[in-house]
Amino acid sequence: PNFGYQWTTADGNILSGAAGLSPVVDQPGTYQLTVLDQFNGCEANTAVVVQQDIVDPTVGVDMAGTLTCAITELSLQGQASGNNQPLTFQWSTADGSIQSGATSLSPLIDEPGTYELLVTDEVNGCTATAQVQVGQDVTPPNVAIVGPGELNCLQETVTIDATASSSGPDFQSNWTTTGGNILSGNGSLQIVVDQPGSYSLLIVNLINGCSSQTETAVMQDIEMPVVDAGDGFTLPCFEQTSELSGTASASSNNLAIEWQTADGQIEANANSLSPSVSSGGLYTLLVINLDNGCSATDAVEVVEDQPEDPDVSAEQPLCSYDLGSLTVTNVVGGASPYLYSIDGGATFTSGSVFSNLGEGWYEVVVQDALGCESDEQTVFIDVPDPLV
C-alpha cells in the first residue's frame, strides 16, 4: 500500500523526520501522527506523549577536618540523592591524594587539597558535583636554646634558657639529658643543671601533634692548677732572707699566686712564686686559675736549725805555772762541719780542743756550716796561786 505520514506537535519540537515513521524530537510534548492512504484517501490519527527527565541528583559534602601531624588520614563524607536509582559516585582531586574509596561516598585521603564528588543518575544520565577543601596544619613548634655557660669551680650550676621557643597552653615541653643532671625546671623553658652533658628539649604542639627537638651541650672546666711549693730547706744564718722556689702550671696563664704562713715570716713577693722569707715555718702556696676559679695548694717547711749548747769540759791547771785547756764535744743540731770559738765568736777554728789557756773567762760559741751559732757559754780557767 502507498501511505503518507505526517507528524505534528503543538508543544514539542520536531528536529527531523516529520514525514517518516521515526521523527527526531528534542522537547517534551504530545506528538500526533496522521497516516494517509493515498489509494483511497482515507486517513487515521494517533498521538504519543514524550516526557522529559532531566532532574539532576542532589549532592553535598560535609565539612572536612584538617590533616595534622597527629591526623595523617581523613575520611570524607558525601551525601547524594536523586529521582532514580542507581546513582554512581566518583571522587577526583588535582592537588590531593585519594588512598581508597574513590567510588564511594566516604573516600580515605591523606593530602590537603580540593576534592570533588561527581554523582551520576544512571537512569537519566544527569550529574551533579560538590567540592570540599581539606586543609593541613603541620607547622612544627619553634625550639630555640641560648648557648649555656660553662660549669667550673666558681659556676657550679648553669641555666639553660629556651624562653624564645614556642610557649603557651597549646605547647608541652620536656627536657632530657645524656650524661648531665637537671636540678630544676623540667617542664618549663628554663632548667638549672649542675653536670656537663648533652641536654635535649622536645616541644609538642598539643593542637596539631607536631613536635620539634634540639639539643645543646654543657661543658665543664674544673681542672686544678698543678702546684709545687718546692723543697724544704734549713734557713741559712749567713743571709737575712732566703727565697722559696714554687712552681705552678694550669690550662690558663691567668693565675693568682699567694703565699701564706702562720708561723713564718714573708718579707717580700708574697704574690710571686719566689717570695723572700726570714724565719722558719710552714709556708703554703695557693694558686688560683682565675678563668675557672679552681685552686690548689702545696706547702713547704723552712727550718731554723742552729746548734744547741755543746758540752764544754775544762782541764784546770794544777800548779801556778801550768796552763789549762777547753774541749768542746757533743754538738747537736745545725749543719756540719762546725767551727769553734772561745772568744765569743770573734774568731773561729775547726779544732774543738783549745790548749795552753791562761787564767780567765772564755766565751765558747759553735758555728755550723750555714753560719748559725750556738748560745754563748762562759768557762773560767782558774790557775792556782804560787806556793810561798
DSSP string for residues in 234-280: EPPSSSS-EE---EEE-S-S-EEEEEEESSSEEEE-TTSSS-EEEE-
* Domain shared by 195 and 242, yes or no: no
The whole domain housing 331 covers 311-381
Phi, psi angles (nearest 5°) of residue 103: -110, 20
Q: Return the pLDDT at 22.
A: 95
| In-domain check, residue 337 | yes
CA–CA separation, 117 and 87 (whole Å): 12
| In-domain check, residue 144 | no
* Domain shared by 45 and 62, yes or no: no
| In-domain check, residue 146 | no
| In-domain check, residue 145 | no
Number of domains in the chain: 5
What is the tally of helices (H) and strands (E) in the chain? 0, 37
Q: Which segments within 14-146 are labelled E, that is strand?
A: 14-16, 24-25, 29-37, 43-50, 58-61, 66-68, 74-75, 78-81, 87-93, 97-100, 108-111, 113-121, 127-137
* Domain shared by 188 and 162, yes or no: yes
Tell me the three state secondary structure of residue 367.
Answer: strand
* Domain shared by 22 and 69, yes or no: no
Q: What is the CATH number of the domain that holds 241?
A: 2.60.40.10
Phi, psi angles (nearest 5°) of residue 176: -135, 160
Please confirm whether the linkage preceding 384 is cis (ω < 30° from 0).
no
| In-domain check, residue 142 | no
Q: Return the pLDDT at 238.
A: 83
- pLDDT tens-digit series, residues 306-365: 898 899 999 999 988 899 999 999 999 888 999 999 999 999 999 999 999 999 999 999
C-alpha cell at 284: 703554703
Q: Return the pLDDT at 125.
A: 93
* Domain shared by 72 and 32, yes or no: no
* Domain shared by 133 and 101, yes or no: yes
* Domain shared by 128 and 159, yes or no: no
* Domain shared by 296 and 342, yes or no: no
CA distances (Å), 338 to each of 154, 312, 353, 365, in order? 54, 15, 13, 10
| In-domain check, residue 164 | yes
Residue partners of 211: CB distance under 8 A and separation at least 6: 69, 140, 141, 202, 203, 204, 205
Residues of the chain with pLDDT under 70: 1, 388
Tell me the three state secondary structure of residue 42.
Answer: coil
Placement of cell 648553669 in the chain: 158
Please confirm whether the linkage preceding 86 is cis (ω < 30° from 0).
yes
| In-domain check, residue 388 | no
| In-domain check, residue 386 | no
Q: Return the pLDDT at 388.
A: 65
Domain's final residue, options 303, 320, 347: 303
Domain's final residue, options 182, 206, 221: 221
